[in-house]
């Protein structure tokens, strides 16, 4: 029987996801401003995004579009 805690931790993402706004778009390279104000991140994506689009990023890759609205940070 496997350890339930190990199985739970294996399901969690290895790199955190952040929400940001696309500041520069030259497909496939983008500059994304992170919502918490830490700065610009150079990212890549297979999907085309416009300047001003809100996106989820993980590592240096844009994962998907983010919903419009306020961003809240929840510390766990």
Backbone angles phi, psi at 34, to 5 degrees: -70, 140
Give strand pairing partners of 62. 57
- Which residue, 75, 10, 20, is CA-closest to 42? 20
pLDDT, position 21: 93
Note the pLDDT tens digit of each residue in 9-64: 888 878 888 999 999 999 999 999 998 878 899 999 999 999 999 999 998 999 99
User: How is residue 35 annotated by DSSP?
Assistant: T
pTM: predicted TM-score of the whole model, two decimal places: 0.74
Whether residue 71 is predicted with pLDDT greater than 80 in this model: the reply is no
pLDDT, position 1: 54
Q: In sequence order, which ranges of 1-76 are alpha helices (DSSP H)?
A: 4-11
CA distance 47 to 64: 8
């Amino acid at each position: 029987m496997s350890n339930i805690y190990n199985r739970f931790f294996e399901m969690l993402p290895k790199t955190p996801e952040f929400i940001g706004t696309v500041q520069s778009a030259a497909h496939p390279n983008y500059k994304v401003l992170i919502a918490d104000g830490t700065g610009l991140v150079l990212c890549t994506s297979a999907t085309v995004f416009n300047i001003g689009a809100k996106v989820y990023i993980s590592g240096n890759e844009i994962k998907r579009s983010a919903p419009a609205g306020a961003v809240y940070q929840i510390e766990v």
